[in-house]
Amino acid sequence: MALYPTYPLGTDRLSLRPFTRGDVDAVYGYRRLEAVARYLFDVPLSREECAVAVQQRISQTGLTEVNDKIILAVELNQTGTLIGEVSLIWRSIEARQGEVGWIFDPLYQGHGYATEAANIMLDLAFGPGDMHRVSARCAVRNEPSWRLMERLGMRREAHFREHAIFKGAWDEEFIYAILWQEWHKSRQPGQTTSK
């Protein structure tokens, strides 16, 4: 089954929409920072590299084949400011597996925006996307990222120790995941997603 959502997706505070060419400066505003790149596979990006990244993201709005990605710009409804991005990758069609990810501008961290946007991506994956399990991965030292996974109701499934070299040093990685039935239970009346 292919997934082509109708955009924007959103909440009272946020709109998730496809990237446009006009987003390059906003993306450069946070992707140029070492604090943002520290746990990403990328190094801090130049403006030109951000322009290439945005160009790629413009068409990453649906899932047809394995490893296709949906990468959406997250905008504040009140100001129209682009504050970050969230992604959903189709990891297996047969086993209905997805993977979520996030990158936010430090100016807008600490308000629950990443949790809110990532929850929309889980709703997309388990609702219209009909996925069975959604995972996320991060460096063990990236505490803001794994705490976000826990706020989403994901379970820590693995701790890989020294399984790879990352930026010149041994990598330590956590894998988190949530199953359809766990997500469904969390969406029942009376259940709250923890802060």
Ligand X SMILES: CC(C)(COP(=O)(O)OP(=O)(O)OC[C@H]1O[C@@H](n2cnc3c(N)ncnc32)[C@H](O)[C@@H]1OP(=O)(O)O)[C@@H](O)C(=O)NCCC(=O)NCCS
* Residue 45 in the binding site for ligand X (CB under 6 A): no
Stretch that binds ligand X, among 16-24, 88-96, 101-109, 163-171 (CB under 6 A): 101-109
Query: Contacts with ligand X: how many residues (CB under 6 A)?
Result: 20
Q: How far is the CB of 179 from ligand X (least distance, A)?
A: 20
Interface residue with ligand X, options 115, 172, 179, 182 (CB under 6 A): 115
Q: 138 to 177, contacts with ligand X by CB under 6 A?
A: 138, 142, 144-145, 147-148
* Residue 21 in the binding site for ligand X (CB under 6 A): no
* Residue 119 in the binding site for ligand X (CB under 6 A): no
Stretch that binds ligand X, among 36-44, 47-55, 67-75, 183-191 (CB under 6 A): 36-44
Query: Amino acid identity of 193?
Result: T
Determine the residue with CB nearest ligand X. 112
Angle at 47 between CA 44 and CA 50, to 5 degrees: 75
Interface residue with ligand X, options 54, 82, 89, 103 (CB under 6 A): 103
Stretch that binds ligand X, among 17-25, 103-111, 160-168, 174-182 (CB under 6 A): 103-111
Long-range contacts made by residues 54-58, C-beta under 8 angstroms, separation at least 24?
Answer: 54/19, 54/20, 54/21, 54/23, 54/24, 54/27, 55/21, 57/18, 57/19, 57/85, 58/18, 58/19, 58/20, 58/21
Interface residue with ligand X, options 14, 82, 114, 134 (CB under 6 A): 114
Interface residue with ligand X, options 39, 90, 126, 176 (CB under 6 A): 39
- Residue numbers of the site for ligand X (CB under 6 A)? 36, 39-40, 102-104, 109-115, 138, 142, 144-145, 147-148, 195
